[in-house]
A and B are shown apart, each in its own frame.
Chain A
Amino acid sequence: MKDLRIWSLLIFIFIIQYLLSDLLTIRYYQPDFIVIYVLYFGLYYGPYYGVIAGFSIGLLVDLTPMASYFGISPLTYSLTGFLSGHLQNKYNRLSPFVFHSIWILIIGFHFMIFTYIRFQLLFEVDKLQFIFRWFASFTYTLFFLFVMQFFFPIKRIHNA
């Protein structure tokens, strides 16, 4: 039953990402709902399953028409799944500020790698523009993550 919920949630997130991201696009920045899912998944199931889930979901994302480089999503999502998995059971051990800062940094790191691979030339030519793109896509997704904290706070994940 639990597995069914996880899978149905994944399908739901995937549909949301695939169908609604166009509507939520601001200039060329889209929110990444899948990285939110991978973050929660890693926190819930730990780094090993976080890597596997991140890799599998990333592979699926790269097969959709919205993907750019094939392989970029498995790489970034598996890293995010791994890093967020290492935050499992850490909420009570770390101070809330450190805990929340770490998952924000994980998301930032995810977008840093993603933006770097996708806009390598921009990184070489105009670093300021590159940083702006990274920051814009990162904060846009972070905005949705902050909104989610009102409904599904990360600290409530029982393993966190």
Chain B
Amino acid sequence: MRTFYLIITKHKDIFALIFSIILSLMMLANGDSDNLRLLRGKSNSIFAYIYSPITWVRTKALIEEEALLLREKNLQLTFQLESMRHLLDENNRLKRLLNFKRESQLNLYPARVINMGASPHLSSSLSIDIGSNSGVSVNDPIMTPNGIIGKTIIVDDQESIVQLINDVTFRLSVRINPSGSTGILRWLDKNMYMIKEVQKNSNVEVGNQVVTSGFSDIFPSDLPVGEVINITDERGRFHKSVVVKINENIGSIMNLFVIVE
């Protein structure tokens, strides 16, 4: 017994190692036992409590990081939404143009605006992406589904320059329906136009539709132009002045039609 005790004392490190290895292997073998799970569960809750300040700091850091990511994502989505809105608008506009072309009896050529204010000699003009190669010639009327907006003045092979209806030198012979009074339409201010040569005795009212008269060699008759918004009848003058608002927003035109003979 004493010898055994002496051996253990002499080699206590080896016995301690063997004992610890056996215990460790037993723990490894019984790792799934209920008692060990319970023990680990309890210890986990203690460590979780100790770790809570670190968790708090890390959570805060994560939240800040997440907020940054969300802000970026929000910005991206806003851009995407704007782009989709723009595409929807464009789609609707093109659909409208397509329907107009289908229903119209005129010989229409679709065109895209490539530049605004293209001519230095005109106060209001634009360039379109079709020219003589597509059958366009000088003085071809330009219109949108909402009405006449100008005419071609310079035509190249691939592109043309359009004088817009709000150019100061642009004149358009128009008829006011249903009275049938005729006159010359010219730009007044912003999107307002004036017809000066309307006879005094003509029965013109606010809300009357203004269309092309057909007297011109350029513009066919009965194409929509705008709507009467004001009538001025001054004493001592031989004509009435009729203010017309055209239906198209000239500044935002992107697609239009050229009426080709």
Q: State the Cβ distance, A8 to closest chain B Cβ, in Å.
A: 16
State the majority secondary structure of interface residues on B.
helix
Query: For chain B residues 28-46, which have a beta carbon within 8 Å of chain A?
Result: 28-29, 31, 36, 39-40, 43-44
**Cα-based distance from A117 to B13 in the complex (angstroms):** 24
A70-B27 contact, Cβ under 8 Å, with A19-B51, A78-B21: yes
Known: A19-B54, A69-B31. A51 touches B24 (CB 8 A): no
The answer to whether B24 and A71 touch across the interface, beta carbons within 8 angstroms, is: yes
Q: Confirm or deny: A108 has a beta carbon within 8 angstroms of a beta carbon on chain B.
A: no
Complex Cα–Cα for A91 and B235 (A) = 124
Q: Is the interface of A mostly helix, strand, loop or mixed?
A: helix
Tell which of A57-65, A123-131, A134-142, A151-159 binds the partner. Answer: A57-65
Task: Establish whether residues A47 and B24, one from each chain, have CB atoms under 8 Å apart when the complex forms.
Answer: no
A99 at the interface (CB under 8 A from B): no
Name B residues whose Cβ lies closer than 8 Å to a Cβ of A.
12-13, 16-17, 20-21, 23-29, 31, 36, 39-40, 43-44, 47-48, 50-51, 54
Residue of A nearest to B21 (CB): A75
CA distance A79 to B21 in the complex (A): 8
Q: How far is the CA of A79 from the CA of B23 in the complex (A)?
A: 13
Minimum C-beta distance from A106 to chain B (A)? 13
A-B contact pairs, 20 of them (CB 8 A): A18-B50, A46-B13, A48-B16, A51-B16, A51-B17, A55-B24, A62-B40, A63-B39, A64-B44, A64-B47, A65-B48, A70-B28, A71-B23, A71-B24, A71-B28, A71-B29, A71-B31, A74-B23, A75-B20, A75-B21
Contact B12 A48 (CB under 8 A): yes
A82 to B28, CA, bound (A): 20
The answer to whether B28 and A55 touch across the interface, beta carbons within 8 angstroms, is no
> Is the Cβ of B36 less than 8 Å from the Cβ of A82?
no
B-facing mask of A31-55, CB < 8 A → 1, else 0?
Answer: 0000000000000001110111011
Given contacts A63-B43, A70-B40, contact A75 B28 (CB under 8 A): yes
The 9 A-B pairs with the shortest beta carbon distances in the complex, nearest first, are A71-B27, A75-B24, A71-B28, A47-B13, A63-B43, A78-B20, A48-B13, A55-B20, A51-B16
Give the residue name and chain of the B residue nearest to A65 (CB). Answer: B44
Q: Assess whether B27 is in contact with A18, with CB atoms less than 8 Å apart.
A: no
The chain B residue sitting closest to A75, CB to CB, is: B24
Q: In the complex, A74 Cα to B28 Cα: how many Å?
A: 10
- Across the interface, which residues of B come within 8 angstroms of A79, CB to CB? 17, 21
A107 to chain B, nearest CB (A): 17
Contact B21 A18 (CB under 8 A): no
Taking the closest CB of chain A, its distance from the CB of B12, in whole angstroms, is 5
Which residues of chain B are within 8 angstroms of A69 by Cβ–Cβ distance? 28, 31
Residues of B within 8 A of A48 (CB): 12-13, 16
Whether A51 touches B20, Cβ cut-off 8 Å, given contacts A19-B54, A70-B36, is yes
Shortest CB-to-CB span from A135 to chain B, Å, is 24
